[in-house]
Amino acid sequence: MLKKAIPALLLLCISTTPVTAQAITTQASPANAKLIVGLVIDQMRWDYLYRYKELYSSNGFRRLLQEGFSCENTMIPYTPTYTAPGHTCVYTGSVPAIHGIVGNSWYSRLTKKYVYCTDDSTVSTVGSNTDAGKMSPGNMWTTTITDELRLSNNFKSKVIGIALKDRGAILPAGHSANAAYWYDDKVGKFITSTHYMPALPQWVSRFNDKDLAAKYMSQDWNTLLPLAKYDLSGSDDVPFEWNIKGEKTVTFPHKLSTITKDKYEAFKTTPFANTYTFDFAKAAIENESLGKNTVTDFLTVSISSTDYIGHSFGPNSVEAEDTYLRLDKDIAEFLAYLDNKVGKGKYLIFLTADHGAAHVPAFLAEHKIPGGGVDDADIKMRLLKAVEEKLNIKNAIDNVVNYQVYLSDSAKNNEAVRELVIEELKRENAVATAVDLNELAESTLAEPMKTRLTNGYMPSRSGDIQFIFKPGYFDGGKKGTTHGLWNPYDSHIPLLFYGWGIKAGKLNRETYMTDIAATLAALLQIQMPSGCVGNVITEVMK
């Protein structure tokens, strides 16, 4: 099966004119960038760049659009479109079939348990007494562009990864990073693991001692603008939104100051946690002297609260709109900080997303647009029942996760079970089709679905049968939204380059998430990551 999947992988490489890093280096400035900043906005749909454009300031998103280079048609070339594969793809230039991160979690046939993408029982938490730090990049099989930067100069470059989510900090920073820091929502502090260091640096401890999360939670979340100005969003009071943990309402103002129990967890579902992430990023630049090295340094920053807020309230909520208006201000302030601290033209920043998001099905229903939520657990129960009743085989289904069915060891090689499961899946109202992943290369699936499923398939970690939902449907309930599919609302992401070595402009031809690492390698004149399948986007370079 793996040999059959390789030609589909190569489609990515021939979809644009192949250009090697060596061929275009003369277009880039010979001077080193002092600092590269990778900014991944978790769950940022591409259309958010333009939907709220008239409300953005001139110094945030609009500065990046007007003075930087925008790849307008950048797609994620695999499924499932989740946070862990997304961050991994951005920094490896590779796909799950090669880098191994096939989901945020996957089912292990060996242990009969879920495997979380960055779980590592061999390391310990540094910075708190919880297990939130038992993490490392060990499950990722390839190098990242950050690893390659360190390798290129005998590890003189400093690389630091920062995010609220562990996977958003660890996977981008790579295997050899100086540090990766993420947020422990039990204690309200940034932590790390012994994979990186035995104890937190003093500056991180001093930052944590400020308890900024609690200070941000002492203020309520009101809209930046009068509520009537949010005419690009739906009603503020709707029954299909989830409330912030600790609140009893989904409407503004959000009384964060009244939340006492689990306040550090609730903090993640506020725009102030984005600001907090930038606070920590600035502290890292200052205290680690990033950008003052004799070689290029690299800071990876993932903005996670956009995802928490998006899941709870959906793309058409006032909360989402207000979050992006506030994020625009955060980005403007961060760019001004970089101008002052590193120097305008001396740093390179790229902005992208790990995935998008679907509309809330109940919102679509209000406007007579098809969609819906389906529970994977219900699908599993119906499949188990059908196989037992029709084939007299019990416990044929081990799990249903990542839109894939994992058959049990006893049923895995039973052709009748495979055929029946596919037949039953196709009976599901939400399912467009289903396919045996062993026969994916011979399937009649339409493009780009076939290639994207192939690129996401790793036999040792993936399931046996893939089902594809109709547009607008996903694994979820009646409130909030999610992502994970091949459709444009999940796979069409922003991609902006700005600063050192970048010319202003816009590109409308199709590019891919895998092209980001290849382009950075060309700009930096270093080797591409070990599993990179992307192409250099030559148009972005001076």
Give me the half-sphere count of Cα atoms (radius 13 Å) on the Cβ side of residue 340. 8
Tokens of residue 260, six digits: 């006492």
Rounded Cα–Cα distance for residues 172 and 124 (Å) = 20
Residues in the chain: 542
- Name the nearest CA neighbour of 528 among 88, 144, 178, 19: 144
Give the angle 451-471-473 at the CA atoms, nearest 5°.
Answer: 115
Rounded Cα–Cα distance for residues 222 and 4 (Å) = 54
| Catalytically annotated residue among 74, 81, 83, 519 | 83
User: Would you say 180 and 192 are in contact if contact means Cβ atoms under 8 Å apart?
Assistant: yes
Tokens of residue 209, six digits: 């001692």
Rounded Cα–Cα distance for residues 258 and 359 (Å) = 30
Within 8 A by CB and 6+ apart from 210, the residues are none
User: Would you say 541 and 24 are in contact if contact means Cβ atoms under 8 Å apart?
Assistant: yes
- Helix, strand, coil fractions of the chain, as percent rounded to 5: 40, 20, 45
User: Would you say 94 and 148 are in contact if contact means Cβ atoms under 8 Å apart?
Assistant: no
Q: Beta strands 505-512 and 69-75: pairing type?
A: parallel
Clarify whether 144 is annotated catalytic. Answer: no
Q: Is 246 left (phi over 0), alpha (psi -120 to 50) or beta?
A: left
Tokens of residue 520, six digits: 């950075």
Give the angle 77-56-514 at the CA atoms, nearest 5°.
Answer: 15
Rounded Cα–Cα distance for residues 541 and 49 (Å) = 22
Mind giving me the DSSP string for 73-106? EEE--SS---HHHHHHHHHHS--HHHH---SSEE
CA-CA-CA-CA dihedral for 331, 334, 338, 344, to nearest 10: 40
- Name the nearest CA neighbour of 304 among 501, 112, 473, 86: 86
Within 8 A by CB and 6+ apart from 82, the residues are 103, 104, 354, 355, 402, 483, 484
**Catalytically annotated residues:** 83
